[in-house]
Amino acid sequence: MLITSIPQISYYNNNNTMQVQRNELRIKPQLNADTVSFCARPPKFDNSFFMDALGRGYDSAEPGLITKAKEFHGTLKRVVDKLKAYGFEYDEAYNSACPLKKKKSVLDKYERQGNAQDIIRGTVYWQDQQDIMAFKKFLEEMKEEGWILSPLRKLDKETGDFVKNKNGSIIKFPDLEIRQEGVTTESLAPLGEYMQRAEISRPRESTYADWQMRFISTKEKGMKEGRQDCEVIFLYGPKYKDAKEIEHKYVYEPVRKMKKLHVDMNPEHHPKGTSGYLIANNFKEIQKRLVQFISQPLFVNAFNTDLKIKDAEKLPVEISKAYSHLILNYAKSIQKALPSYYTQISKELLKDEQVVVSIKNSPSYQFRDDKTITPKEIKEAKREIKSKLIDWKEKDSERIVEVLEDLRQTLDKFALKD
């Protein structure tokens, strides 16, 4: 069997803890140096059974998750009320309306990343996001309430094993991501060496910045890694929260759907002049313009409003008619290029030497004693690849129609009118 990555499906335990992880093999085509290069996502495990099981698990666990979310939000509110002098603010209306990530979003995230740690989440407003001592106070108060940051184990890219110290012990990391200017490992020193292992990065290209962290309850029994994560996001204020939601609907959603096309969206991975290059390049252009004309001014304006920046110029959140036509034409060109893209990759993926490489990369081949690859095995693998390519092509054709409709809604809202 060529496609043999079986997902690891955990379950909702008696504590309604959602802990599902999935390992998925991707077979990357490897061509000889003297062949024409191409890029395609090869067939992978059909995860429809897994996603159906996950959806049913979410439904059965939802009542318990809501109870857990209410408990967590109660803690957040009490802590924030104590720390108002440090600039923290709790939006009770918003948190009560959105205590859980919706099932559709959870399933989508599992499909993309293999996990979804933010099912239970809470939002806290905090304007001075460089004030490390205020954050230290927040952690102390959360600990008093029985909540600590979840410990993480990270994989070493070179060894494929967990990151370890010189003595061979696994190193733990705090489940904390900081996307913020002016915060460094050194500035986290007051929090201790452990907290200095937090993941720190610059704000996104859209200028979006935040703090994200996952807490676990110290009252739960069992291993820390198996407890239900509850996420907290620090945003600058209510306008920033509104900007995040607008950007999600009109920018993130169409971009996310384009990324789900079975095409490598890095133009550098495709020879120029191919359908793959056109699709990837057009995707990059669409994403670039949406971020430039919508995301960036949205977040800049929201930041200035929440922090009451005096004399701040309000940036226009709009797309010119010329760029509106360009964005839509880029998407239509992707739609037209998909059939020829599948014609190109079918020829490459179905070559005998390419099929052999795919078989050798499969788990079943790795663990079997007899390494002989028979003509019958190659024939069966080709049949499976053909079937998968037909399925991909149909799904991508449907998905690009959805993308076009999403982009039309975006342009209806932000494009300049006559």
What's the pLDDT tens digit per position in 272-309? 999 999 999 999 999 999 999 999 999 999 999 999 99
Extended beta strands in 127-278, E state: 147-149, 151-153, 172-174, 176-179, 199-201, 210-217, 230-235
| 114 — pLDDT class (breaks 50, 70, 90) | low
Does 74 or 354 have the greater pLDDT score? 74
361 Cβ contact list (under 8 Å, min separation 6)? 25, 27, 28
Contact 179, 203 (CB under 8 A): yes
d(CA 65, CA 302): 32
pLDDT at 15: 38
Contact 72, 123 (CB under 8 A): no
Domains annotated on the chain, with CATH: 48-235 (3.30.460), 241-414 (no CATH)
Does 290 or 311 have the greater pLDDT score? 290
CB atoms closer than 10 angstroms to residue 391: 13
- Calculate the average pLDDT of the chain: 85
d(CA 349, CA 39): 10
d(CA 47, CA 55): 12
d(CA 145, CA 78): 9
Tens of pLDDT, residues 318-377: 999 999 999 999 999 999 999 999 999 998 889 888 888 888 888 888 888 888 898 899
